[in-house]
Amino acid sequence: MRRAPRIRRARSPRDRPQVVAHRGSSHDTAEHTLAAYVKALDEGAEALECDVRLTADGHLVCVHDRDLRRTASTPGLVSTMNLAELDELDFASWKNPWADLDDEAPTSDPDRGRVLTLRKLLETVADYDRHVEMAIETKHPTRYGGLVERRLVDTLGDFGWDRAGSPARVMSFSLNAMNRVKKLAPDLDVVMLVDKAHHWPVLRPVVGDDWIIGPGVEELRDHPGLGRHLVKAGREIHVWTVNTAEDLQVCLDLGVTAVISDRPAYMLELLGA
């Protein structure tokens, strides 16, 4: 069932970067859980970032790692498990393993610590009482290849978000993935993530003129020429993962349009928002 389209407001010039919650408010709350995203929204995050992987039965879930050892204490692989199997796991306890021993710890809702589907996250954003954008990263390599992007665009289409004016943008370190998204949904914004500064000269001739570029803040700090080249080329820049005042200053000096942070409330405080 397709939801009624919600048209994104045209981007207006900003005097500061958009603050994007990286995997939710993940500095304090277990990443990619509904609790982390609700906390980010409560803190005023203007966009939410998530990673998506495809389950064995075709559901997109918000999980960063291909295996579940770090965040769910199991050796299973996301791609070999069904959603029902993942839904039985605890994706929150690893962040604070001693919570049960803390008498002053707030009572938590178990449902907010389970695996989070992309659809549930999009519903949360669509129903929120203010405008919120989404930055969705597809993870590669994966056994499902281009099916990930096809499922993602189909899911966005159910919300009317696969066209111009969408509040969603798609990101990846995979050039092939970004080309697939532009073929499936030509009017969606895409962000070509850049892992290393020396990758940019190779990418520059093959990325679209209107693509957003997403370098890591460490590369911008360690290789100032990267930022200068991007600015000179007139590129829109979204930077990850910006968690300190020093990192934010690097971004402000370059005039980037979005900072992706584990600490959205702190970034907003530093920006005076």
Q: Which active-site residues does the annotation give?
A: 22, 64
In angstroms, the CA 121 to CA 33 distance is: 9
The per-residue b/e assignment along 176-211, b for 16 or more CB within 10 angstroms, e otherwise, is ebbbbbbebbeebbbbbbbeebebbeeeeeebeeeb
36 in Cβ contact with 23 (< 8 Å): yes
Query: Which stretch of DSSP H or E encloses residue 189?
Result: strand 189-194
The per-residue b/e assignment along 45-64, b for 16 or more CB within 10 angstroms, e otherwise, is bbbbbbbbbbbbeebbbbbb
Strands 258-261 and 238-240: parallel
